[in-house]
Amino acid sequence: MQADIDGLQSLTVAKLATAFQVSETNTLVGLAGRVQLLQRLGRAIAQSPDLFPGGRPGGLVDYLAELVSVGTISAVTVLKLVLTGLGEIWPGRLTLAGVNLGDVWQHPALANQPGCADQYVPLHKLSQWLTYSLLEPLQGLGWAIADLDQLTGLAEYRNGGLCLDLDLLVAHDPALTQQTHAASSEVIVEWRALTVALLDRLAAQLRQQLNRSPSELPLVKILQGGTWAAGRRLARDRRPRAQPPLKITSDGTVF
């Protein structure tokens, strides 16, 4: 019952389904994909013993402790380590110079030149979500977190759904809302990128209305206490089972 190299790599669909009480009436989207993701997590930890001493995901905190000399750590450092140590867990993604880019996609409106980084849209939703989740327990160790404003909003379906449900974003072709799209499709990449941009604008307006500074009301608080919850409530009111307004084919490793 421990999340270590052996436990993760030996995980099966049946074991995870039992643990999460999955059934025909209590489904879990992308169950098989999630199991494969956790198995790859075990392999990634095995490949980076320096980053994960003890062969457990939590070993990353022990590695971070070696970097913290004055009690302050940059959120950017945590994200870089997450991207470096866990980059190989994402399936079938773009690569650049032999590096798996993870939650990074291409959009035709950007420059399409081989080897040019400008053609890529980096979102890193799950990696940033994990980074945000790590920061609070790191603070619990007495560490101060710097550069929190260097992380972005999360390009996920509740935040994105909020933007669509409030008509902050409107589909040029209403048929798009009835079709099912791949995560790599132009419409989904554009929707997610615009969501990140709008979250920054929304954060600025909320701080102005509430008379709070970025340090008093960082984006992570706006995401956790505001946009995600509001997006979920709107989705529940407007669609059965709180489905997002755009239909996405996902293996459980993007959203």
Task: Give me the pLDDT at residue 205, please.
Answer: 94
The 10 Å Cβ neighbour count of residue 86 is 24
Is the whole-model pTM more than 0.85? yes
Query: CA distances (Å), 23 to each of 31, 216, 222, in order?
Result: 11, 43, 34
Phi, psi of 99 (to 5 degrees): -105, 130
How far apart are the C-alpha atoms of 15 and 9, rounded to whole Å? 12
Task: Give me the pLDDT at residue 66, please.
Answer: 83
What parts of the chain have a pLDDT lower than 70?
A: 1, 69, 112-117, 242, 251-252
Task: Give me the pLDDT at residue 254, please.
Answer: 80
Q: What spatial distance separates the first Cα and last Cα of the chain, rounded to whole Å? A: 26
Task: Give me the pLDDT at residue 65, please.
Answer: 86
Task: Give me the pLDDT at residue 7, please.
Answer: 94
Phi, psi of 50 (to 5 degrees): -70, -40
Closest CA to 221 of 136, 123, 138: 136
List the domain boundaries for the chain.
1-48, 94-123+149-249
Task: Give me the pLDDT at residue 16, please.
Answer: 94
Closest CA to 105 of 235, 192, 229, 18: 192
Task: Give me the pLDDT at residue 53, please.
Answer: 93
Task: Give me the pLDDT at residue 116, please.
Answer: 62
